[in-house]
C-alpha cells in the first residue's frame, strides 16, 4: 500500500468510496476543486492501482481541519485509515500545522477508536451536527 497525494484522475474512485460510506457524499467534482487549493492536503491509499481510502484536510495558519476520512468497505480493518492519518500528520508538520481538528459521529466507535490511537482527544459535542440521520458530532483534536 502506498500513500500519495490525490490527483484529479482519482476523483471518480474517491467519490465512489465517499458514496459508499456517507449519506451526504462529496461529488467527484468537489474533490477535483478541493485538491487545486494550496491550503488543502488530500491523500489516497492505493494498492495495485486500486484506491483503498482517502483523507482530506484544510489548513488555515497553524491549524488543520480534517474534512474527510473514508476507507472502502472491502478494505476496512486493514489499518488504511491509520496509515492515512499518520502521513497527513507528517505533512501537517512540514506545513507548520500544530493542531488538527475534526468532527466525527458520536456513534462511529471504530473511527473514534482510530483517532484516539493517533492521539486525538474529545473536546466537546456539536448537537445535531449531522443530517441523514440527525446525529451529534464529537469535536476531536490533536496537538502535533
Residues classed as catalytic: 103, 115
**CB within 8 Å of 67: residues ≥ 6 apart:** 34, 56, 57, 58
**Can you give 81-102 as a three-state secondary structure string?**
HHHHHHHHHHHHHHCCCCEEEE
**CB within 8 Å of 36: residues ≥ 6 apart:** none
| Other Cβ atoms closer than 10 A to 114 | 20
Report residue 128 as a C-alpha cell: 445535531
SS3 state of residue 36: coil
Amino acid at each position: 500500500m502506498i500513500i500519495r497525494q490525490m490527483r484529479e484522475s482519482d476523483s471518480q474512485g474517491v467519490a465512489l468510496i465517499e458514496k459508499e460510506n456517507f449519506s451526504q457524499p462529496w461529488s467527484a467534482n468537489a474533490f477535483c476543486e478541493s485538491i487545486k487549493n494550496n491550503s488543502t492536503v488530500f491523500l489516497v491509499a492505493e494498492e495495485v492501482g486500486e484506491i483503498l481510502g482517502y483523507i482530506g484536510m484544510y489548513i488555515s495558519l497553524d491549524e488543520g481541519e480534517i474534512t474527510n476520512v473514508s476507507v472502502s468497505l472491502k478494505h476496512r480493518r486493514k489499518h488504511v485509515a491509520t496509515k492515512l492519518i499518520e502521513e497527513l500528520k507528517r505533512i501537517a508538520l512540514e506545513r507548520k500545522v500544530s493542531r488538527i481538528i475534526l468532527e466525527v459521529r458520536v456513534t462511529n466507535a471504530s473511527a473514534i477508536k482510530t483517532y484516539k490511537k493517533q492521539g486525538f482527544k474529545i473536546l466537546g459535542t456539536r448537537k445535531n451536527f449531522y443530517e441523514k440521520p440527525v446525529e451529534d458530532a464529537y469535536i476531536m483534536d490533536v496537538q502535533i
